[in-house]
Structure 1
Amino acid sequence: NEYPAFGGNYTVIHHTQLINELVGAGKISLEVSSDQYTVTFHDPCYLGRHNQIFEAPRQALSSAGVTTIEMPRNESKSFCCGAGGAQMWKEEENGSMRVSEARFKEAKETGVNTLAVGCPFCMTMLNDVSKADGGSVEVKDVAELVAERMKPGA
């Protein structure tokens, strides 16, 4: 969003938007299994609340035959993973629970085995909590879930 202020005139899209374009144009072919695969999706702060992109990740998951169960706080009411604004590199603040733990708890309460993300910071924060929790919920990027369903040679 800041590129024009620095003289840049670029079209920047999220990787899930690119996936949707490629699937829509037939440049990526997906094998959708009859086995139901269900995830919950964590809306990244910058993608969602800052750029109002909510449908693209869900559409990419759907095109791969993945069903999404929403957490109570989703889309514009989503809750940060704890890394927003480079917070992952600063000291923890006092509190009863880390932000990432609170968000992971919300994901786990949906009953799914996989938490889908669309941001590398979210991936790191939520993976760390999952590991500390014994790996009870696998954290994967939307692109990984789509790639797992790509037809050979696609």
Structure 2
Amino acid sequence: MFIDKLLSDGKLNLPEGFDKRKLTYHDPCYIGRYNDVYDEPRRVLTVLNSNGVTEMGRNRNKSFCCGGGGGRAWMEEKIGKRINQTRVNEALATNAEVLAAACPFCITMFEDGVKGVEAEEKLKIEDISEIIAQAIDKK
């Protein structure tokens, strides 16, 4: 992840621990399982968040899809539960206030999922880049 490299090279300084909210991180399919990138997003979030990252039960290479892969975002579920709502419920089970991800498809799916389970007041969906932008604004 580019931001992690900038931080480790000292080319970007962010205010450590500025974010006090409890957060969890979703490993996107292509960033995680396809490219094997797991630690970098967590390092960035740990710098920014004084609470660190609260892991969901399914994380890293055992993570669960957001429901947007393979064109599923445009399909209606005929049976069972919507994948995005299942994943949002897993995030809610951590008591996190923020579900962070680094994929625009995941963000879209989770925004829809949080509405579907009527948890918009309990759980905010944010891209890591949004959290970084908030930190830069606070500097």
The equivalent residue for 2:133 is 147
What SS does the corresponding residue of 1:28 show, helix, strand or coil? coil
- Over the residues paired in the alignment, what is the CA RMSD in angstroms? 1.9
The equivalent residue for 1:47 is 31
How far the C-alpha of 1:24 sits from its partner, in A, is 2.0
Tell me the distance in 2 between the aligned counterparts of 1:77 and 1:121.
Answer: 19
**Residue 22 (structure 2) aligned to one of 20, 38, 46:** 38
- Identity within the alignment, %: 38
**Paired residue type of 2:92:** K
How far the C-alpha of 1:71 sits from its partner, in A, is 0.4
Hey, which bits of structure 1, 4+ residues long, moved more than 4 A?
none
Tell me the distance in 1 between the aligned counterparts of 2:14 and 2:74.
Answer: 37
Matched ranges for 1:61-72 at <5 A: 61-66=45-50, 67-72=52-57
Tell me the distance in 2 between the aligned counterparts of 1:27 and 1:151.
Answer: 17
TM-score by length of 2: 0.87
Q: What do residues 108-147 of structure 1 show as CA deviations (whole Å, max 9, x unaligned)?
A: 0100110001110000000112133141200001111122
Tell me the distance in 2 between the aligned counterparts of 1:55 and 1:151.
Answer: 25
What SS does the corresponding residue of 1:131 show, helix, strand or coil? helix
How far the C-alpha of 1:60 sits from its partner, in A, is 1.2
Instruction: Indicate how the Cα distance of structure 1 residues 29 and 128 shifts in structure 2: closer, same or farther if over 3 A, else same.
Output: same
Are the aligned partners of 1:40 and 1:71 in contact in 2 as well (CA < 8 Å)? yes
**Paired residue type of 1:144:** E
**Paired residue type of 2:2:** L
2:109 matches 1:125: yes
Larger Rg: 1
Tell me the distance in 1 between the aligned counterparts of 2:30 and 2:78.
Answer: 22
Gaps of 5+ in 1: 1-16
Q: What do residues 68-87 of structure 1 show as CA deviations (whole Å, max 9, x unaligned)?
A: 00000000110111011232
How far the C-alpha of 1:91 sits from its partner, in A, is 3.4
**Residue 107 (structure 1) aligned to one of 71, 91, 101:** 91
